[in-house]
């Protein structure tokens, strides 16, 4: 069992233009609970509150290959594989979002809608002009927002149609998304931490330096957890400063689009084809 201890606060990397005030957030440590192998390029995870299971998207090949190899798995909160190929017929499935009895999955240039219980494909919604759809989040009104890493855009699915919701240079290589009440937060593979106004889509750069940004999730105390997919996990503050919680790049363990469930973080690892769970602990 591995325990990951954060850097001392003095080693935090400052990304703001002026020195930030001392953060009011507790430090975080992560301790591994379980690890399960046997997946095929797992990119994203999402819990299903109804079944208690966790969806895992498996690219199973190159991320942009239209090959029909992609699938969705379902696992238990303890890491047991309930069904490895629960939903099939996908190409490069990545981000996922739930609305009612529908599971929405990004699949390169389209959003695929699946039946939440059976995994049957119900509909496919092309995103005009998209090149590499990545993460997905659901809004409180049932709209589905997805990032496009190739075009610096966020698309939205509403009224059975997909259209561009926000775009801008700051969103170049956009990846992870997180929805808040008045803004959408995003990290990019250019290392940018940004926000987009839900009202008028104004984009603000909060910080930089996050490498190949991937996951983004709240930490439970007003800050965030994020990742750089080649193998780093960050504790990211609202002002853009961050600590490095883990660095697995030399070991070749990717850290992709994870999800926080209470005080546990479920992490997919494209390489070496694993999913792991980590207990969050807080300390002054």
SS3 171: helix
Q: How confident is the model at residue 11 (pLDDT cuts 50, 70, 90)?
A: very low
More confident residue, 20 or 230: 230
**Residues near 8 by beta carbon (within 8 Å), at least 6 away in sequence:** none
Average pLDDT over the chain, rounded to whole?
A: 92
What backbone phi and psi angles, to 5 degrees, belong to 157? -100, 115
Question: pTM above the 0.85 mark?
Answer: yes
**Can you give the pLDDT at residue 171?**
98
Domains annotated for the chain, with CATH where assigned, are 3-283 (2.120.10.30)
- Least Cα distance to 168 among 145, 182, 147 occurs for 147
Question: C-alpha angle with apex 134: 276 to 275, nearest 5 degrees?
Answer: 10
Confidence bin at 25 (pLDDT 50/70/90): confident
Residue 156 has pLDDT above 80, yes or no: yes
CB neighbourhood size of 272 (10 A):
11
β-pairing verdict for 42-47 and 54-58 = antiparallel
Residue 207 CA to its chain's centroid (Å): 18
- Say what the pLDDT of residue 283 is: 82
pLDDT in tens, 73-106: 999 999 999 999 999 999 999 999 999 999 999 9
Q: What is the pLDDT of residues 50-80, one digit of tens each?
A: 999 999 999 999 999 999 999 999 999 999 9
Of 36, 4, 45, which is closest to residue 234 (Cα–Cα)?
4
| Cβ atoms of 207 and 15 closer than 8 Å | yes
Q: How confident is the model at residue 1, as a pLDDT?
A: 40
Strand partners, 183: 197
């Amino acid at each position: 069992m591995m325990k990951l201890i954060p850097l001392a606060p003095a080693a935090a990397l400052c990304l703001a233009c002026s020195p930030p005030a001392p953060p009011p957030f507790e430090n975080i440590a992560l301790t591994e609970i379980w690890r399960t192998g046997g997946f095929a390029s797992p990119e994203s995870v999402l819990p299903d509150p109804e079944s208690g299971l966790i969806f895992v998207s498996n690219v199973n090949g190159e991320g942009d290959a239209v090959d029909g190899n992609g699938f969705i798995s379902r696992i238990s909160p303890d890491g047991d594989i309930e069904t490895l190929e629960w939903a099939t017929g996908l190409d490069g499935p990545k981000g996922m979002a739930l609305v009612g009895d529908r599971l929405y999955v990004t699949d390169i240039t389209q959003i695929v809608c699946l039946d939440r219980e059976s995994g049957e494909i119900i509909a496919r919604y092309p995103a005009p002009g998209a090149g590499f759809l990545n993460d997905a989040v659901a809004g409180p009104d049932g709209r589905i927002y997805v990032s496009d890493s190739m075009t610096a855009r966020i698309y939205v699915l509403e009224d059975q149609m997909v259209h561009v919701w926000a775009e801008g240079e700051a969103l170049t290589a956009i990846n992870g998304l997180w929805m808040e009440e008045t803004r959408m937060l995003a990290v990019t593979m250019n290392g940018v931490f940004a926000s987009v106004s839900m009202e008028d889509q104004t984009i603000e750069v909060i910080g930089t330096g996050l490498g190949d940004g991937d996951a983004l999730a709240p930490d439970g105390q007003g800050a965030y957890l994020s990742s750089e997919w080649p193998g780093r996990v960050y504790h990211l503050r609202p002002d853009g400063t961050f600590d490095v919680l883990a660095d697995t790049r030399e070991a070749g363990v990717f850290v992709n689009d994870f999800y926080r469930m209470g005080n546990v973080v479920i992490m997919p690892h494209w390489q070496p084809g694993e999913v792991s769970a980590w207990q969050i602990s807080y300390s002054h």
